[in-house]
Amino acid sequence: MFRFEDPWVLGLLAIVPLTYWLGARGERRTGALRFSALDMARQAGNGISVWLPRVPALLGAVSVTAVIVALARPQTGITSETLLTEGIDIIMVMDVSSSMLAEDLEPNRLQAAKGVAADFVGGRRNDRIGLVAFAGEAFTQAPLTLDYSVVQSLIGELQVGIIEDGTAVGMGLGTAVKRLQASDAESKVVILLTDGRSNRGEIGPVTAARMAQALGVRVYTVGVGTRGNAPVPIADPLVGTRLVPMPVDIDEPTLQEIAELTGGRYFRATDNESLTSIYEEIDQLERTEIEVENFMQYAERFPVVLAFGLLLLLMEVGLAQTVLRKLP
């Protein structure tokens, strides 16, 4: 933003042509030397020598212009914003057990879940995001942070086998709730994605859900996997890896109970499209209106313009008294 604090001063620019005319008129005064012939004078009047005497007048006019502009106080403005509302603290809990390699989603459940989760993180604004991975055990992959690129990178690094195999749903949820325990955010959310039934861990899923309920943490649960059988890659020492149809066993009643206890919702993702739409719906459900106050701060720029004008004035005086000095 640019403005003049005293724009009425710019009206003085009307005198600039007058200052130039007076200066140029003074340079055109008649000299005291007389010539018996005009040929040499005409030759001397050709070329750049005609314009050199006008340089001081031009410098004087420009310096007056700069001084007038400086007196009008030119200013540049910088806009700053202040956010008045807090964001949401969200922990994403992702199953990385071996069953997540099933290929009923493309290319498999884990890769599909990672892609959608990364897009979800990239679409958030002003919300802290954390990441918990679980299989037979659970651990925090990323604490709550506003650095979405780091969370997306850590999501991309999730692989089956980084944790002992199994499905400890309660441990995954409990770890996330513990991370949110110290949060002072107005809204605290867990998104729990799994494709199986809890069979490991010291904390049961419902017990972890009651912990979340006590702390005001809302849990959205997502069961991922088709209905019926799903092709699962199995290592065969004779023919290598082959796909074997295996029954999909998602504990939907428990996932529904977790969601109901905490005020969240349960979703079932049977393909890539439904998984994407689920995260889009959660994204819309967990939005807060952010109030923004705009402030405009102006900085004075007249010293630069004034210094430029004074420099030109010094140049005018210097040239008029030295190389462009006119003999009487």
313 assigned to some structural domain: yes
Q: Do 153 and 235 have their domain in common? A: yes
302 assigned to some structural domain: yes
Q: Do 18 and 101 have their domain in common? A: no
Q: Do 228 and 165 have their domain in common? A: yes
Q: Do 103 and 118 have their domain in common? A: yes
* Tally of domains in the chain: 2
For 87-113, write each residue's pLDDT tens digit.
799 999 999 999 999 999 999 999 999
328 assigned to some structural domain: no
Q: 262 lies in which domain range?
A: 85-285
Q: What is the mean pLDDT of residues 285-304?
A: 72
147 assigned to some structural domain: yes
Whether residue 295 has pLDDT greater than 80: no
327 assigned to some structural domain: no
Q: Do 130 and 210 have their domain in common? A: yes
Q: Do 311 and 262 have their domain in common? A: no
The string of DSSP letters for 230-288 reads EEEEEEETTTEEEEEEEE----HHHHHHHHHHHT--EEEE-SHHHHHHHHHHHHHHT--
pTM score, whole prediction: 0.65
**Model pLDDT, residue 3:** 77
Q: Do 50 and 23 have their domain in common? A: yes
Query: Tokens representing 326?
Result: 């006119």
CATH code at position 158: 3.40.50.410
Q: Do 171 and 104 have their domain in common? A: yes
**30 pLDDT tier (thresholds 50, 70, 90):** very low
Ranked by mean pLDDT, the top range of 35-39, 62-66, 162-166, 237-241 is 162-166
